[in-house]
Amino acid sequence: MSAGLPTLEAVRATRERLGDRVVTTPVRLWQDDPLARIVGETTRVVLKEELFQRTGSFKPRGALAVMLDLPLEALGRGVVAVSAGNHAMAVAYAATALKTTAKVVMPKSANPYRVQRSRELGAEVELVDDVHQAFARVKAIEAAEGRTFVHPFEGPKTALGTATLGLEIAEQVPDLDAVIVPIGGGGLCAGVAMAIKMMRPQALVFGVEPFGADTMHRSLAAGSPQAIDKVETIADSLGAPHAAPYSFDLCRRFVDELVRVDDDALRAAMLLLFRSAKLAVEPAGAAATAALCGPLREKLRGRTVVPIVCGANIDPATYSAHLAAAF
């Protein structure tokens, strides 16, 4: 695969093609006493606030990178996707931006806010019992309607899209020592890690998964992509049922270490981000902060660390309940 790895020039070209369909999200030095008491006075934390991306998560980068390369005939037939929400919204947005149609299949457990927003962004939504059924239903739609499947996390073009986030981080924080990336299926971590290692090879890349959806941990331990029977975490955006070969291989090549966090740590990080950084995020958006405050705290003490705040799509009632549970 080495000869087929994307180049830095390809990542830059992808960012150019995305244009203003995606925004360059801000970075912010997070300085606050509650944070310092947890991670230490000498640790410099720079938040990459990707929650301010269009549709509220990083997902449009990959969806658009895939769809911009579709032939006009394929684009005219529309696209289909499977998602617990963030990818569904991104595909809906991308389809509207590129003047085509999207059909998205979502598990019934998906956050109602994300289902509603997917419809508002123009997608036709089908609900099924779980993510395993969702993938099967997508295959049926693809075959029956000729729509192109836009994978939520797998493939070279998806990785090029998410690599544009790593490109931004490396340019915005040139003295970074480490980046912490949430992992669901691995598409975000694959692209970000690849770009960071191209531009800042000395920087460390850490991936973080919930204990209840640790697909990449199991895959790296086994040496090949693995699946899990059930997703059991409040971070449903990180609840991919399986890993896939391309993103798995990039993570294996470029990620220095994986850590896991539990749901209580995710809630505590959500509360810290709300009270200290003034950010309202979904559980997945707090995963990198949870890792920094927990399993990576001592390892990263005294370094310049960039946790990626990857998304903020959650309804008020669920968000409030998570914060209340963290008090």
Tokens of 261: 């966090």
Is the pLDDT score of 301 beyond 80? yes
- Between the alpha carbon of residue 87 and those of residues 183, 233, 303, the distances in Å are 14, 18, 32
207-214: average pLDDT: 97
CA distance 73 to 230: 37
Say how far residue 12 (Cα) sits from the centre of its chain. Answer: 20
pLDDT number for residue 131:
75
pLDDT surpassing 80 at residue 293: yes
Q: Average pLDDT, stretch 55-70?
A: 98
Asked if residues 85 and 118 have their Cβ atoms less than 8 Å apart, the reply is yes
Q: Which long-range contacts (CB under 8 A, 24 or more apart) does 70-75 make?
A: 70/148, 74/148, 75/100, 75/148
Predicted pLDDT at 2: 46
pLDDT digits (tens, 9 = 90+) for 86-142: 999 999 999 999 999 999 999 898 888 999 999 999 999 999 998 778 889 999 999
**pLDDT tens-place string over residues 141-194:** 999 999 999 999 999 999 999 999 999 999 999 999 999 999 999 999 999 999
End-to-end CA distance of the chain: 48
pLDDT in tens, 17-45: 999 999 999 999 999 999 999 999 999 99
Pairing assessment for the beta strands 44-48 and 27-30 based on DSSP bridges: antiparallel
**Number of Cβ within a 10 Å radius of residue 139:** 13
Residue 309: per-residue pLDDT? 98
Least confident piece of the model among 1-5, 114-118, 299-303: 1-5
pLDDT of residue 111: 86
pTM: predicted TM-score of the whole model, two decimal places: 0.95
**Closest C-alpha to 23, from 65, 3, 51:** 51
Query: How many other CB atoms are found less than 10 A from the CB of residue 120?
Result: 10
Residue 1 predicted with pLDDT over 80? no
User: Helix (H) and strand (E) counts for the chain?
Assistant: 14, 10
Strands 102-107 and 27-30 turn out to be unpaired
pLDDT of residue 3: 47
